[in-house]
Amino acid sequence: MTTQHIHPFLESASNILGMFQFSPRIGEAAEQAKPLDGKEVITVIGVTGHLRGQVYTGMSTADALRIVSGMMGGATVAEFDDMALSAISELANMICGNAAIQLSQGGVTLDISPPTIITGSGLGVAASRMKTVSVPIHMDGMDGLEICMALEV
Partner 1 sequence: MAKILVVDDAAFMRMMLRDILLNGGHEVVAEAANGLEAVEQYSICKPDLVTMDITMPVMEGIDAVKQIRQNDPNAKIIMCSAMGQQGMVVQSIQAGARDFVVKPFQAERVLEAIGKVLA
Between residue 52 and residue 81, which ones bind partner 1 under the rule CB under 8 A?
A: 71-72
Going by C-alpha positions, the residue among 111, 149, 144, 129 that lies closest to residue 29 is 149
- How many whole angstroms separate alpha carbon 122 and alpha carbon 26? 23
- How many whole angstroms separate alpha carbon 143 and alpha carbon 56? 16
Is 116 a residue that touches partner 1 (CB under 8 A)? no
Contact 30/134 with Cβ under 8 angstroms?
yes
Is 100 a residue that touches partner 1 (CB under 8 A)? yes
Binding test (CB under 8 A) with partner 1, winner from 32, 60, 61, 93: 93
Q: How far is the CB of 106 from partner 1 (least distance, A)?
A: 11
Residues that bind partner 1 (CB under 8 A): 16, 19-20, 71-72, 82-84, 86-87, 89-90, 93-94, 96-98, 100-101, 103-105, 109, 111-114
